[in-house]
Chains A and B, each alone.
Chain A
Amino acid sequence: MQGERTIRVLIAKPGLDGHDRGAKVIARALRDAGMEVIYTGLRQTPEQIVEAAIQEDVDVIGLSILSGAHNVLFPRIMELLRERGIDDILVIGGGVIPHEDIPFLKECGIAEIFTPGTPISQIIDFIKNNVKK
């Protein structure tokens, strides 16, 4: 494994909902796809997520939210990343997110939104094809 490029991913749950089944299943699947996955637990503020992403120097941030607060919290995370001068982290999101919110979230810089039912293999491929670093 020497010198091999390992993709590092931060799986984060912004907001207050405690439904982390999706986040954990994804975390495990990404691990099984050979990635290093950092999971930070429930109830993370945008500030905590960005700081953890910086210290862990991740290639990808995966945000999972089911509470409906995505339109507030996702843009805030993107704003904080920009403030810290970070443009090389791929940010993706998932959860209960209405289709009509997706264009706005993408405008804010979220690379892709995966709604319930997305095959994980699709998420893995997306990450592998789009990591920026």
Chain B
Amino acid sequence: MFDKESLERLEQEKARWENSTVKKVIEKTPERYERFHTGSNLEVNRLYTPLDVQEMDYMKDLGFPGEYPFTRGIQPTMYRGRLWTMRQYAGFGTAEESNKRYKYLLSQGQTGLSVAFDLPTQIGYDSDHPLAQGEVGKVGVAIDSLKDMETLFDGIPLDKVSTSMTINAPAAILLAMYIAVAEKQGVSSDKLSGTIQNDILKEYVARGTYIFPPEPSMRLITDIFEFCSKHVPKWNTISISGYHIREAGATAVQEVAFTLANGIAYVEAAIKAGLDVDEFAPRLSFFFNAHNDLFEEVAKFRAARRLWAKIMKERFKAKDPKSMMLRFHTQTAGSTLTAQQPDNNIVRVTIQALAAVLGGTQSLHTNSRDEALALPTEESVRIALRTQQIIAYESGVTETVDPLAGSYYVEHLTNLIEQKAMEYIKKIDELGGAPKAIEKGYIQQEIQDSAYRYQQEIESGRRIVVGVNKFQIEEEPPKNLLKVDPEVEKIQKEKLSKLKATRDNLAVKNALEELSKKAMSNENLMPTIITCVKTYATLGEICDALRRVFGEYKATVSF
């Protein structure tokens, strides 16, 4: 982008500046550290100039928004056309309570729903399972059967909202329930829009809510891809998640690398299952984290977009540009929230949300200030949503597309992150792909090393966390935290036993037996799962029918 002559001159001038102007100042006031680096330990120089991006080719590396390689964004007009979807992850207690919270959020101007399920639901246990003790309704809503799902979306027209569900191992079952609820509302499945997380690989690596071993889990995922491409065409069939990988301690580079490596594994699995890449790839979506290091995060999103476009085009020979577009949801980083001086978290979330918007996110969840302490209260959730609205309507960053492009620093970081992520992906390919690398514990080990390094930096004081290892104050413990009613467990158990007494138990038994049988075959399981949920077979029963055939995953753990 720059001619050779002016670069040479610049180089000389820069050397002169360093040896005179800078040198004089440093002699008087040395810089705060000998070396500077980003939040993820990429080295940062004092100054960036065209010299740092001299290899860059505008058309090849950046291009135009809405066009390959999508570095500058996946839509040509970005937020000038439509703002991102403001989507607050919510759900707790019973379906009744969560239903009320959803209606409140929609009334406050939220534009999409994001359902949080409790851990027993995520791991395929009914509320009366011994391991569910103490967990029912805690981190999300408890769903035991289609009955609960009907309550959860009561009075919410499913053809009018888009719903994101954070559900992985039993994603097929929850999707089946959603389809069944819609059917009862008179909404056909082709009208439904939303997302299921459905990303099992990162569960093995970072999040821990797995049920089945990798192979049958991947089969469930490709079954969903195939089924949705025919029957639920507007549904995002997977949200390939770097969020939890980052939360587990990964760096920005690792977040991009491991997420895209998982993405590659899903694409390969689907192709192996006989699907055409352009048939399912446009429905793949991603989910990233937004941390505090503003520029690094913006660069991360841009690098991820460019890298995925290249992978889809060059490696998988996708033809449809939609297959090459990395569309993503962002959530601000839960792990950066502090229990100390919780109001400071509002500021952190603002910076993180800004990074996501400057990085071109399609939807955004902003964390609430009290999430290091408990589930967020209604007031905290509102502030979090208002944060997004202030960025959207007051900050002005939405008025042009990809405003940080051309910043020597941001472009340099974008290149660096892409390059380092690609090195990881190569290494993972050498290990036989993401599933094998996970089985060997490679990815887990890399993440844990980063997590430990991060902690040591805080302990040593090299990394400062305001209010935690600097600027501490004596403070009163916060009050008015949200408490989940301990009765939820009792209520769910009662609902379950009532359900089991009133439904057609023979139909349930037959449907479940049919499912176990189909699980042994190669047939797509989605239709049978839909039949099961319609008989009001419980989530736990359906998972058990699959456990009998698939077995259960046992973790490999590394430190």
Residue contact B451 to A17, C-beta cutoff 8 Å: no
Residue contact A16 to B478, C-beta cutoff 8 Å: no
Q: How far is the CB of B379 from chain A (nearest CB, A)?
A: 16
Residue contact B340 to A41, C-beta cutoff 8 Å: no
Residue contact B452 to A16, C-beta cutoff 8 Å: no
Could you say which of A15, A27, A41, A121 contacts B119, with CB atoms under 8 Å apart?
A15
> 1/0 per residue A14-41: CB within 8 Å of B?
0111111100110111010000000101
* Docked complex Cα distance between A20 and B248 (Å): 8
- When distances are taken between beta carbons in the complex, the residues of chain B under 8 Å from A119 are 458-459, 469
Nearest chain A residue, comparing its CB with the CB of B375: A68
Instruction: Indicate if B477 sits at the interface (CB-CB under 8 A).
Output: yes
Residue contact A19 to B135, C-beta cutoff 8 Å: no
Residue contact A116 to B372, C-beta cutoff 8 Å: yes
Residue contact B249 to A21, C-beta cutoff 8 Å: yes
Residue contact B455 to A100, C-beta cutoff 8 Å: no
Could you say which of A41, A70, A117 contacts B339, with CB atoms under 8 Å apart?
A117
Task: Kindly identify, within residues 442 to 460 of chain B, every residue whose CB is under 8 Å from any CB belonging to chain A.
Answer: 448, 451-452, 455, 458-459
Residue contact A43 to B131, C-beta cutoff 8 Å: yes
Known: A39-B557, A68-B484, A116-B339. Contact between A16 and B374, CB under 8 A? no
- When distances are taken between beta carbons in the complex, the residues of chain A under 8 Å from B479 are 100
Could you say which of A16, A29, A71 contacts B131, with CB atoms under 8 Å apart?
A16
Q: How far is the CB of A127 from chain B (nearest CB, A)?
A: 16
Residue contact B119 to A98, C-beta cutoff 8 Å: no
Residue contact A99 to B338, C-beta cutoff 8 Å: no
Residue contact B339 to A120, C-beta cutoff 8 Å: no
Could you say which of B372, B468, B481, B557 contacts A100, with CB atoms under 8 Å apart?
B481
Inter-chain contact total with CB atoms closer than 8 Å:
114
> 1/0 per residue B355-377: CB within 8 Å of A?
00000000000000001111100
Instruction: Indicate if B139 sits at the interface (CB-CB under 8 A).
Output: yes
Known: A21-B247, A68-B374, A98-B373. Contact between A41 and B557, CB under 8 A? yes
Instruction: Indicate if A42 sits at the interface (CB-CB under 8 A).
Output: yes
Residue contact B469 to A67, C-beta cutoff 8 Å: no
> 1/0 per residue B207-219: CB within 8 Å of A?
1111000000000
Q: How far is the CB of B60 from chain A (nearest CB, A)?
A: 38
Instruction: Indicate if A73 sits at the interface (CB-CB under 8 A).
Output: yes
Could you say which of A18, A31, A42, A68 contacts B138, with CB atoms under 8 Å apart?
A68
Instruction: Indicate if B511 sits at the interface (CB-CB under 8 A).
Output: no
Could you say which of B203, B338, B448 contacts A24, with CB atoms under 8 Å apart?
B448
Could you say which of B209, B373, B452 contacts A18, with CB atoms under 8 Å apart?
B209
Residue contact A67 to B138, C-beta cutoff 8 Å: yes
- When distances are taken between beta carbons in the complex, the residues of chain A under 8 Å from B339 are 115-117
Known: A21-B248, A25-B451, A29-B455. Contact between A72 and B133, CB under 8 A? yes
B135, B451, B469: most-surrounded residue (chain A CB, <10 A): B135
- When distances are taken between beta carbons in the complex, the residues of chain A under 8 Å from B335 are 21
Residue contact A18 to B458, C-beta cutoff 8 Å: no
* Docked complex Cα distance between A96 and B335 (Å): 11
Task: Kindly identify, within residues 304 to 345 of chain B, every residue whose CB is under 8 Å from any CB belonging to chain A.
Answer: 335, 337-340
Q: How far is the CB of B207 from chain A (nearest CB, A)?
A: 5
- When distances are taken between beta carbons in the complex, the residues of chain B under 8 Å from A99 are 373, 477-478
Q: How far is the CB of A43 from chain B (nearest CB, A)?
A: 7
Residue contact A69 to B555, C-beta cutoff 8 Å: no
Residue contact A17 to B338, C-beta cutoff 8 Å: no
* Docked complex Cα distance between A45 and B129 (Å): 12
Could you say which of B135, B210, B248 contacts A15, with CB atoms under 8 Å apart?
B135
Instruction: Indicate if B527 sits at the interface (CB-CB under 8 A).
Output: no
- When distances are taken between beta carbons in the complex, the residues of chain B under 8 Å from A100 are 477, 479, 481
Nearest chain B residue, comparing its CB with the CB of A120: B459
Could you say which of B120, B131, B210, B467 contacts A45, with CB atoms under 8 Å apart?
B131
Task: Kindly identify, within residues 70 to 128 of chain A, every residue whose CB is under 8 Å from any CB belonging to chain B.
Answer: 70-73, 96, 98-100, 115-117, 119-121
B120, B340, B455: most-surrounded residue (chain A CB, <10 A): B455
* Docked complex Cα distance between A21 and B469 (Å): 20
Q: How far is the CB of A62 from chain B (nearest CB, A)?
A: 14
* Docked complex Cα distance between A15 and B125 (Å): 13
Instruction: Indicate if B130 sits at the interface (CB-CB under 8 A).
Output: yes
- When distances are taken between beta carbons in the complex, the residues of chain B under 8 Å from A96 are 371-374
Instruction: Indicate if B431 sits at the interface (CB-CB under 8 A).
Output: no
Residue contact A18 to B557, C-beta cutoff 8 Å: no
Residue contact B481 to A68, C-beta cutoff 8 Å: no
Known: A15-B119, A16-B120, A21-B451. Contact between A69 and B247, CB under 8 A? no
Known: A68-B139, A100-B481. 9 other contacts (CB 8 A): A15-B135, A16-B135, A17-B119, A42-B208, A72-B486, A73-B134, A115-B373, A117-B338, A117-B468
**29 pairs, A vs B, C-beta closer than 8 Å:** A16-B131, A16-B135, A17-B119, A17-B208, A19-B247, A19-B248, A21-B247, A24-B559, A25-B448, A25-B452, A28-B559, A29-B452, A31-B559, A41-B557, A67-B135, A67-B139, A68-B135, A68-B374, A69-B134, A70-B134, A96-B371, A96-B373, A96-B374, A99-B373, A117-B338, A117-B339, A117-B465, A119-B459, A119-B469
What 3 A-B pairs are tightest by C-beta distance, nearest first? A18-B208, A72-B134, A69-B134
